[in-house]
Copies of this chain bind each other. A is one copy, B any other.
Amino acid sequence: MTQAWLDTWLDAVARAGLDTPVVLVDVDRVDANIARMAATMRERGVALRPHAKTHKSLEVARRQLAAGAVGLTVATIGEAEVFAAGGIDDLFIAFPVIAGAAKAERLRALAARCRLSVGLDSVEGVEALAAAFRGEAPARVLIEIDSGGARSGVLPEAAGALARRAVDRGLDVRGVFTHAGQGYADPARRSAAADEEVAGLAMAAESLRREGIEPAVVSAGSTPTAVLSARAPVTEERPGTYVLGDRQQTVLAGEPSGFDESVALVVAATVVSHGTRGGFLVDAGAKVLTKDVAPYLAGHGVVLGYPDAVLTRVNDHHGTAEVPAGTARPAIGEVVCIVPNHVCPVVNLVDELVVVSGGRVVDRWPVDARGRNA
């Protein structure tokens, strides 16, 4: 299977005469990933609001919406602006927004343009948002809880008090949300993380109800846990990475090779040197692969077709691979395809994705929201 898919990518690079490094996306795999997740959520009766920080692409977003997504999740106001300008009319900023300085004005403009919700996890956030909107426009908010990820969010039992404060300040509290980052900790952790997500959200929803606030939205979200936590009281899932796939997700899902049919994106690179130590070097370094390495992964990506090679080091523009003694290494000049460890920051490094299908380049999708961190 690996070899057949690898060949279609290599054929596309050769036929189109692409210079490397280049980020390739297989549109058929993207569509299959979109359809599979949409079908699962439809079966469960759970709304799907994919996180667009993975792809940052209007073209991918439109495919997700066409397959039944209720809207998009984004991480920043800048991402929301790009997708709103592209005609996406239902956006949730899943981040503890502090509506200070210019951000207040930008949020008001967004809320006037689309159906906007934002995350809050502090009294300061509530006050800033209330001041920004001054009761003039609908300011929909979801209270973020920490369901074990140890990142942002309040404790589940504290959600009600914060929601009450928000309602009292004129904000429209729609419900609660969480991200179970602990589901990324290791392959054995996914199922428990999903349970923690569900339990935390259930407790938070109860906490709102005790304040007389009925949560319309109870939102969970991460690719490792999305399918596992898509059950009551969860009403919405926000996975992102599933649409492109990567080594990390594949390993977390139980495929230790880091590559299966869910992986829709690879970095094509050229072997530029054999160095002096028996390995090889590629022209893909940290400026395209990033330095994202989960503790359970060895090296900076999977070199397809060379399963024993380990990308032990990436500098800005060099990737250095080691191979065990006696193992074949690619020739200098050969093009190889690398599955990145974590796809989201890789996409954010390029201006466009080169879209392939059946061994040919069929399109180029701009990374519309690349670099929109603020």
A→B interface (CB under 8 Å): 17-22, 53, 75-77, 95-98, 100-103, 106, 121-122, 124-125, 128, 146, 150-155, 181, 270-277, 281, 283-284, 286-288, 290-293, 313, 315-318, 320, 331-333, 344-345, 348-351, 371, 373-374
The residue that A270 contacts in the complex, of B21, B100, B181, B272, with Cβ under 8 A, is B100
Known pairs A19-B101, A53-B316; A96 contacts B273 (CB<8 A):
yes
The residue that A272 contacts in the complex, of B98, B276, B316, with Cβ under 8 A, is B98
Identical chains bound together, number: 2
The docked-state distance in angstroms from the alpha carbon of A71 to that of B20 is 25
Asked if B96 contacts A373 (CB within 8 A), the reply is: no
Residues of B within 8 A of A272 (CB): 95-98, 125, 152
Asked if A19 contacts B374 (CB within 8 A), the reply is: yes
The docked-state distance in angstroms from the alpha carbon of A262 to that of B21 is 33
A-B contact list, 26 entries, CB within 8 Å: A17-B101, A19-B102, A76-B317, A96-B272, A98-B272, A122-B274, A125-B272, A125-B332, A128-B333, A150-B320, A152-B272, A152-B273, A152-B275, A284-B373, A286-B290, A286-B292, A286-B345, A287-B344, A287-B371, A290-B290, A290-B291, A291-B345, A349-B373, A350-B371, A350-B373, A351-B371
Q: Known contacts A100-B270, A287-B344; can you find 18 more A-B pairs with CB under 8 A?
A: A19-B77, A19-B102, A19-B103, A21-B373, A75-B317, A95-B318, A96-B281, A124-B332, A150-B277, A151-B313, A151-B318, A152-B275, A155-B276, A181-B315, A291-B292, A291-B293, A349-B371, A350-B371
Asked if A345 contacts B316 (CB within 8 A), the reply is: yes
Asked if A275 contacts B146 (CB within 8 A), the reply is: yes
The docked-state distance in angstroms from the alpha carbon of A181 to that of B286 is 15
State the Cβ distance, A332 to closest chain B Cβ, in Å.
4
The docked-state distance in angstroms from the alpha carbon of A151 to that of B320 is 7
Residues of B within 8 A of A154 (CB): 276
Asked if A121 contacts B273 (CB within 8 A), the reply is: yes
The residue that A287 contacts in the complex, of B19, B106, B155, B373, with Cβ under 8 A, is B373
Residues of B within 8 A of A276 (CB): 146, 150, 153-155
Asked if B121 contacts A75 (CB within 8 A), the reply is: no
Asked if A152 contacts B17 (CB within 8 A), the reply is: no
Residues of B within 8 A of A103 (CB): 19
Residues of B within 8 A of A17 (CB): 101-102
Known pairs A125-B272, A374-B20; A333 contacts B75 (CB<8 A):
no
The docked-state distance in angstroms from the alpha carbon of A73 to that of B75 is 36
State the Cβ distance, A119 to closest chain B Cβ, in Å.
10
CB-CB nearest 7 A-B residue pairs: A124-B332, A152-B273, A75-B317, A19-B374, A96-B273, A291-B291, A146-B276
Q: Smallest CB-CB separation from A181: which chain B residue?
A: B315
Asked if A95 contacts B125 (CB within 8 A), the reply is: no
Asked if A22 contacts B374 (CB within 8 A), the reply is: yes
Residues of B within 8 A of A125 (CB): 272-273, 332
Q: Smallest CB-CB separation from A320: which chain B residue?
A: B151
Q: Smallest CB-CB separation from A312: which chain B residue?
A: B150
Residues of B within 8 A of A96 (CB): 272-273, 281
The docked-state distance in angstroms from the alpha carbon of A286 to that of B341 is 14
Known pairs A124-B331, A151-B275, A281-B151; A270 contacts B320 (CB<8 A):
no
The docked-state distance in angstroms from the alpha carbon of A128 to that of B98 is 54
Residues of B within 8 A of A124 (CB): 331-333
State the Cβ distance, A354 to closest chain B Cβ, in Å.
11
Residues of B within 8 A of A273 (CB): 96, 121-122, 125, 152-153
